[in-house]
Amino acid sequence: MKKGNKYGIHRVIEPKGVLPQPANKIDNNMDEIYDNEILIDVQTLNVDSASFTDIKARANGDHKKIAEIMLEIVEKQGKHRNPWTGSGGMLLGTVEKIGDALIGKTDLKVGDKIATLVSLSLTPLRIDKIKEIRDAVDQVDIDGKAILFESGIYAKIPDDMPEKLALSALDVAGAPAQTAKLCKPGDTVLIIGAGGKSGMLCSYEAKKRVGVTGKVIGFCHSQKSADRLLKLGFADHVFTADATQPVAVLDIVEKLTDGQMADVTINNVNIPDTEMTSILCTKNNGIVYFFSMATSFTKAALGAEGVGSDVTMIVGNGYTKGHAEITLQILRESEALRQVFTELYA
């Protein structure tokens, strides 16, 4: 086997000298793997929510057109990085082959079912056939292959829950895990997009961390998602509004917090232009965590400056130590949330 680079630079075709994620094209030839790669037989792509929302809109919801767009992306780039949003997703598959240099250094073995926890935007991918598109949950079943680099992180699919259930939660594992790190007892936490997949997980974790002296405010786009969150009981207050309208949302949050605003704001939405809503609803010296891949960090930085807001803004890093374990544990702790995830995503 040929010797590979830890970060997968050996797969970059152009431009040379960059990492696989920003590369315009990478090598997705699966006939021969490098000594530090893991070959995966892919079952399901869990496309990033911002990416899938964008692709679905471009295809006018037509599944045949969605498939054409996805195949074209992979054909041009050797990976599934949405050219309009820059985001990818992750995948579910079975370990087919392990490079010689990794034998004895990984806990994986051939036949293990895993979810990759690195983005499709950097993962060498070959799609042989698109079998089913489940646009309600951003999942696409395929026949295909993928490569996990030596530096790539993953989670073995647990035995105590269905594969698709675990996949749906692991797709957004960074959000609840970061919420666990950011929220402390007594905090007021605003969750934007609280009725969605990552939002429900974050709401549960925030409520757990702020305790009886804290407050969780759930901000939902639709009444349906708001009703679902209310039923789950993870938020002290739930309201619906348009997250792209910062002034209107600011008025609501001012009333709910007696003008104090949020200590921590978690933005989980999959649409652009919600940066100022997040910033205005957070007190000075508070924290805004932009998990949303639809975020423009230029708009966020210049927008905060423009309104004189001294908030700490955190980029939505999808990885934090222990994020897979934290997220799967939420589904074990909350039977109600597990049931909702099973109905919606599994």
CATH number of 174-345: 3.40.50.720
To the nearest whole percent, how much of the chain has pLDDT over 90? Answer: 93
pLDDT at 293 over 90: no
- Ordered by start, the domain boundaries in the chain are 9-157, 174-345
Residues in the chain: 346
Strand segments (E) across the chain: 12-14, 25-26, 38-47, 89-98, 113-116, 125-134, 139-148, 154-156, 188-192, 215-220, 237-240, 262-267, 282-290, 312-315
Per-residue model confidence (pLDDT) at position 164: 87
* pTM greater than the 0.85 cutoff: yes
pLDDT tens digits for 58-113? 999 999 999 999 999 999 999 999 999 999 999 999 999 999 999 999 999 999 99
- 252 within 8 A of 237, measured Cβ to Cβ: no
Check whether 202 has a pLDDT greater than 90.
Answer: yes
Asked if pLDDT for residue 346 goes beyond 80, the answer is: no
Alpha-carbon gap, residue 94 to 298, rounded angstroms = 39
